[in-house]
Amino acid sequence: MNHPSSKSQNQEIDRRRTFGIISHPDAGKTTLTEKMLLFGGAIQMAGSVKARKASRHATSDWMAIERERGISVTSSVMKFDYRNFEINLLDTPGHQDFSEDTYRVLTAVDSAVMVIDSVKGVEAQTRKLMAVCRMRNTPILTFVNKLDREGMPPLDILGDIEETLQIECAPLSWPIGMGKRFKGTYNIHRRELTLFTPGRERLPDDSVTIRDLGDPILDEILGRQADELREDVALLEGAANPFDLQDFLKGSQTPVFFGSAVNNFGVRELLDTFVEIAPGPLPRQATTRTVFPGEEPFSGFVFKIQANMDPAHRDRLAFLRVCSGRFQKGMRVRHHRIDKDILIANPIMFMAQDRTAVEEAWPGDIIGIHNHGTIKIGDTFSEKEPLSFTGIPNFAPEHFRRVQLKSPLKSKQLRKGLTQLVEEGAVQLFRPLMGSDLILGAVGILQFDVTMARLKAEYGVDAVYEHVDYVASRWVKCDDPKRLSAFERANQAHLALDAEGNLTFLADGEWRIEFVAEQWPEVVFTKTREHR
Ligand code: GDP
């Protein structure tokens, strides 16, 4: 059922791009974000995104968490315009605040930009985030950063990406030297040379069109490095994969750019290509059918809930991605999980540095809805038709703690607090089949501090954490009830139920999961679990 949509709706859809940046800490995500916002005119000065990040680096005591949480509400989504495109950049928290949200944000984007540090190559966090992108075959553009430093040879970087991340690389630009000899990049597609000037903030038009690499002007500009470029390009023509839009859109090939974010080099080239090739709002899968952005009725889902830790404003904000139709301020929508119509009062949108009131929003946009405890991660809102979007899962935690109450009288408050915090996606709760422990699981360890601080502040619960030996987990399923009970009997000591009653295997090492999975081939072990 694909409703005909109005011309203006199609125009709004076509000009939206919603993406996230995947990278390992220190590869240059913040710097690149800042340069993009500069190009989009969303900020006037370099340094503003940085300053925010610096204050996030404080240690994770209560005040710092508060500050960090407060701050990241505004940096969660950054909207900016570029060449008449409306771009929604969704923040993927990376340093200490790396968490399940980081993964879940990627379920709400249509494409991603991957930043690789040319000195370090592919790093651990990038591998993890890439695995999440794989789940939906998200198209990825790659930016190899820090070419102003002596890094790995470009071909080795491509090899590293292809091998470690199992994605084909199609270089669209090629660096001329690196470190002190870095002269610029050659755009293979457009046959254009862009020259590098270190430290320049805004880049004037200093690109030179080269129709023929044999042109002696190249020697004039590049000296001895002209021949190196000629050799490289000849080599690439024979060996590199040509760019293929369909392969990119399927997520099996990534176009690669080289540059230096801090020097503002290569960023415009990346953005120009990004708006041209990255997909606009894509159709989304619901349990009953596929929902297309061009359909007239509004629909959307919640992928993140953020608490405001400021005691004066103890509100929670639910981040909703619009999937179809047009959202209008003051709209009544159906909240399908609780089967009620709700009024979305005072929705907000996020600009580079502020929140503003939303008048209307279109597919691809993210709006913030005030939540007083009725909204859970994964909730779907729509106009009439009962819908439930899929693909906003829980991710298997890698860190675990046992919660021990200091006062047993508070166990009711503890349960209530944990239920709420689990619904917000702050942390996951597991109850082992044996015993009466409460085990918390998280993707990033800062979540434990946040959880404890909030239990205390919002629910008056005084508790402590105790060490447990788990470092990995999987949800388990088995179609054969007999085999499942045999499995449960044999592995009782490792099994727990999560907050929604799903059987979970908790392990003291990945090796144990592999070992047990081999012994029980009919049992399926998964790293993600869909919400009900
Ligand atoms: P994030 O942790 O991924 O957000 O990384 P940042 O953007 O904070 O960058 C980490 C460090 O690398 C900072 O000191 C940046 O100034 C530096 N950096 C970013 N881009 C470049 C670049 O192109 N060249 C060099 N030499 N340093 C860079």
What is the ipTM, given to two decimal places?
0.99
405/368 same-domain check? no
Tokens in use for 172?
Answer: 């669209």
Q: What is the pLDDT of residue 84?
A: 93
Model confidence band, residue 373 (pLDDT cutoffs 50, 70, 90):
confident
Selected residue with higher pLDDT from 78 and 172: 172
**Least confident interval from 32-41, 167-176, 395-404:** 32-41
DSSP 272: H
pLDDT at 69 over 90: no
Is residue 385 lining ligand 1, measured as CB closer than 6 Å? no
Is residue 260 lining ligand 1, measured as CB closer than 6 Å? yes
Is residue 494 lining ligand 1, measured as CB closer than 6 Å? no
Percentage of the chain exceeding pLDDT 90: 65
CB atoms within 10 A of CB 74: 17
The last residue of one of the domains, among 277, 306, 323, is 277
In-domain check, residue 404: yes
> What digits encode the pLDDT tens for the residues 462-484?
999 999 999 999 999 999 999 99
pLDDT at 64 over 80: no
Is 30 known to sit in a ligand binding site? yes
End-to-end CA distance of the chain: 24
Which strand ranges, in their side-by-side order, compose the sheet holding 184-187? Answer: 173-176, 184-187, 192-195, 207-209
Ligand 1: residue whose CA is nearest its atom 2: 26
For 346: left if phi > 0, alpha if psi spans -120 to 50, otherwise beta; the answer is left
Q: What is the pLDDT of residue 52?
A: 52
Distance 191 CA to ligand 1 centre (A): 28
pLDDT at 72 over 50: no
Is residue 46 lining ligand 1, measured as CB closer than 6 Å? no
Q: What is the pLDDT of residue 71?
A: 40
In-domain check, residue 78: no
43/147 same-domain check? yes
447/497 same-domain check? yes
Q: Which atom of ligand 1 is nearest to the CA of 115?
A: 3
Q: What is the pLDDT of residue 354?
A: 66
Q: Alpha-carbon distance 343 to 271, whole Å?
A: 37
| CATH assignment of the domain containing 344 | 3.40.50.300
Distance 28 CA to ligand 1 centre (A): 4
In-domain check, residue 90: no
What is the mean predicted confidence (pLDDT) over 202-213?
68
Q: Which atom of ligand 1 is nearest to the CA of 149?
A: 26
166/54 same-domain check? yes
| pTM attached to this predicted model | 0.91
| CATH assignment of the domain containing 499 | 3.30.70.3280
419/355 same-domain check? no
Q: What is the pLDDT of residue 61?
A: 40
403/519 same-domain check? yes
Residues 6+ apart with CB under 8 A from 360: 326, 327, 328, 329
**Least confident interval from 65-69, 220-224, 247-251, 316-320:** 65-69
Number of domains in the chain: 3
Is residue 56 lining ligand 1, measured as CB closer than 6 Å? no
Percentage of the chain exceeding pLDDT 70: 88
Is residue 125 lining ligand 1, measured as CB closer than 6 Å? no
Q: Which atom of ligand 1 is nearest to the CA of 263?
A: 23
pLDDT at 173 over 60: yes
Q: Considering the chain, what is the average pLDDT of its residues?
A: 88
Query: Rounded to the nearest 10 degrees, how much is the dihedral formed by the CA atoms of 500, 503, 506, 509?
Result: -120
In-domain check, residue 390: no
Q: What is the pLDDT of residue 362?
A: 96
Is residue 29 lining ligand 1, measured as CB closer than 6 Å? yes
Q: What is the pLDDT of residue 317?
A: 86
What is the mean predicted confidence (pLDDT) over 323-327?
96
Model confidence band, residue 288 (pLDDT cutoffs 50, 70, 90):
very high
Which of 22, 23, 26 has the most ligand 1 atoms within 8 A of CB, as the residue to mutate? 26
291/311 same-domain check? yes
pLDDT at 433 over 60: yes
The last residue of one of the domains, among 331, 348, 382, is 382
pLDDT at 264 over 90: no
Supply the range of the domain harboring residue 403. Answer: 396-530
Tell me the one-letter amino acid at 425.
G
Model confidence band, residue 58 (pLDDT cutoffs 50, 70, 90):
very low
138/244 same-domain check? yes
The last residue of one of the domains, among 382, 412, 427, is 382
45/154 same-domain check? yes
**Least confident interval from 163-177, 299-313, 445-459, 498-512:** 299-313
Q: Are 94 and 437 in contact (CB under 8 A)?
A: no
Q: What is the pLDDT of residue 245?
A: 97
442/330 same-domain check? no
Selected residue with higher pLDDT from 406 and 254: 254
In-domain check, residue 351: yes
127/236 same-domain check? yes
Q: For residue 514, what is the enclosing H or E element?
A: helix 510-519
Q: What is the pLDDT of residue 253?
A: 98
> What digits encode the pLDDT tens for the residues 381-426?
999 899 999 999 999 999 999 999 998 888 999 999 999 899 888 8
Model confidence band, residue 313 (pLDDT cutoffs 50, 70, 90):
low
Distance 259 CA to ligand 1 centre (A): 12
Which of these, 117, 100, 97, 115, lies nearest to 29 by C-alpha position? 115
Is residue 387 lining ligand 1, measured as CB closer than 6 Å? no
In-domain check, residue 10: no
What is the mean predicted confidence (pLDDT) over 8-16?
95
Q: Are 438 and 465 in contact (CB under 8 A)?
A: no
Is residue 92 lining ligand 1, measured as CB closer than 6 Å? no
In-domain check, residue 8: no
What is the mean predicted confidence (pLDDT) over 346-364?
81
263/300 same-domain check? no
Q: What is the pLDDT of residue 77?
A: 86
Model confidence band, residue 192 (pLDDT cutoffs 50, 70, 90):
confident
Which of these, 380, 322, 383, lies nearest to 108 by C-alpha position? 322
In-domain check, residue 87: no
Is 521 known to sit in a ligand binding site? no
Q: What is the pLDDT of residue 51?
A: 52
Q: What is the pLDDT of residue 172?
A: 95
> What digits encode the pLDDT tens for the residues 79-124?
889 999 999 999 898 777 788 999 999 999 999 999 999 999 999 9
